[in-house]
Chains A and B, each alone.
Chain A
């Protein structure tokens, strides 16, 4: 399975990953549109991103969420009805939505671009 592994202790909160992600998928540098979410409330640095567990697939009424050949959970927009149940039922809070951009939810598809942009290897794309 391909997924994005995180090493929060290496994170310097530079925001490169979020910039890259939002620019790649929404053509805009906006952390609110990034699939990887880095937060730093007080001293508690945190990196939150989909671990490809697939819990969302089980609640999708139209089977729009599926696992591709690399083990990555993908959304087939043609089947999606934008109900966002997957958002409410994601155990890690990593199914995201933004009404200003699209009706459907979005998530990390383990493309690895953020990992490439990360200067400290706090994000690593792994296959296991």
Chain B
């Protein structure tokens, strides 16, 4: 690759890290261009902790109330958090990105493994904030070794992720061994037309000798990257060490980490098998419980086909015996890969590649949800989604919606420009994905913008029935639902649709607690769970940790020494987090403080959504998420659903299936409203879902500009008694 032209360059002295913080953030305006290093105040640490908290704090100051996703002042802010980069505890390399999302028009935060988070901190920055738009494709390079920031004019021929990543690891490394000191963030060509473009974050795999990709997939961060004409972000830091965070108590950190390594060594094979199949161990479990999205969430099970996508099939496809952590020290090792995969279609046809994944979400989204039960096809779709810069979840859920619209006759073959988009028609579905990257096909460009956009466009352009699409389009707040059928769990309606940013599985997964173990019988129980779990899980995003080592392995005695409801919290692992947080930062938090730390950021982000939505940050839920919409959907589990009517005192015998569906919908819509109010109340919000001033004061986030938003949009009649 020829030497790239330097468009701008600044030097800096990397700040030393103390107790997990550099106390500096980097700001780069890629349009002007301009660079600034900002100080992190003690108040910023105390209130926002780090990671997503820092992202949102910086983003708040950067945008206006009216900022749209593609306005130059929108930012991509990336931050790890104080624990990010420790090597002693599994899952400590996470990086959190925040921005105003093209899908939802409000803030989104999305996280990724890979080395960007740790290496950018070791290079001197607790957060990296990128604003403005470049005129031509550029690469932002942070050289932590030399204390240099550069904006380079991209001369990359191929802007798709694997090509960009491979070329830049090669370009910036002095030799093969140096490649692991680099991390690249890239999107891809489809992110230029899509609203759900993903950000791929790399790490170099010295055994495979390839750059691997993890994704901050959700919310459209990759779309913003390409809108800003950023071809890639690159960081380089070569002086890797075992205590770069300069922690207070290395001894405790080592002991707690080794304890978890041993636990994973001893128990993973008999628990979740994360080391062998990653999250794809869930495929058949979800199918068994009617939770595996099938044909646009119409069904939750497909007994005739599930064996084709059983985790055992994926275990054979994934290369075994490799240390597949996406940061040093992750013995959970779930970043599985398919090596030597020969691509069958598209621009890479015939090439042998390493494909990262598929993870469970992708097995479902680019599999069962679109009626495809062919792992090799799913692997190829996964490859191209990453390469083109598309979020596999939004892509799959959008495609599922398209297939159902097509089968219902809401759109036709002429409108799809010749594609026969029935469920399972994999050749034409793959062609649609390629057309999204090509960017010249109007229909593909509409699909690439997500379900909320499609509902409007299909109605306006193709006169498709809006009411039907409203019922079956599985989006909330403009964001596509991730891959669990939520219909039968009231708590999970909240876990998906009463979230900060849309139906994503990173806040609460309560289906088993609610439905299978019956641990949340009342609205108050559900509301308590919808307070605790989202806040508990928010904490990972503040400190730079991955959620998986929390409960994808459990101590052998977890369910013996704890009551079932308490066991779901995995108390010993919660204590691990308290111990390692204190060991790194020198603070002295207790487990209760985890929730309070999170509540500060959770509520700040909620006010941020209210601000960006001019007071109307409402939570919507599609009818498909609440229960069956069509008769065949009801009839697939007729006895079960008839039983549900009987439970609420309605005799199904005298009713037609359409009438039964209507009755259940009416009942469940009432339950949804009841749940919503119970949750809002528990969270300290008003009836419109706006945090009260009292809540802001309790959490110490009553900054004048935050209070002003709350006061502007809150009405006395919306207060709870």
Contact = CB atoms under 8 A, between A and B. Distances in A.
A59 B262 CA distance: 12
A89 B321 CA distance: 13
A11 interface: no
Main secondary structure of the interface of A (DSSP, over half): loop
Contact of A85 (B206, B250, B321, B329): B329
Interface residues of A, number: 20
Interface of B: 87-88, 180, 206-207, 240-243, 250-251, 253-254, 257-262, 264-265, 321, 323, 325, 328-329, 331
A88 B260 contact: yes
A88 B328 contact: no
Interface of A: 58-63, 80-85, 87-89, 97, 99-100, 103-104
B242 A82 contact: yes
21 contacts: A58-B321, A61-B329, A62-B180, A81-B242, A82-B88, A82-B241, A82-B242, A83-B242, A83-B329, A84-B261, A85-B325, A85-B331, A87-B258, A88-B260, A88-B262, A88-B265, A89-B265, A99-B250, A99-B254, A103-B250, A104-B242
A112 B699 CA distance: 61
Given A63-B207, A89-B331, A104-B242, A84 B257 contact: yes
B331 A80 contact: no
A108 B504 CA distance: 48
A96 B321 CA distance: 23
A84 B321 contact: no
Query: 8 smallest A-B Cβ distances: which pairs?
Result: A88-B261, A82-B242, A103-B242, A83-B329, A99-B251, A83-B87, A99-B250, A81-B328
Given A89-B331, A103-B243, 4 more contacts: A58-B323, A81-B240, A88-B262, A99-B251
Nearest to B87: A83
Contact of A88 (B87, B243, B264): B264
A53 to B, nearest CB: 14
A59 B264 CA distance: 12
A100 to B, nearest CB: 7
A80 B87 CA distance: 10
Given A99-B250, A103-B243, A84 B258 contact: yes
Contacts of B264: 88
A97 B254 contact: yes
B328 A61 contact: yes
Nearest to B323: A61
B708 to A, nearest CB: 46
A45 to B, nearest CB: 25
A102 to B, nearest CB: 8
Contacts of B87: 81-84
Contacts of A89: 261, 265, 331
Nearest to A82: B242
Contacts of B206: 61-63
Given A59-B323, A62-B180, A82 B207 contact: no
Contacts of B261: 84-85, 87-89
Contacts of B253: 99
A5 B88 CA distance: 31
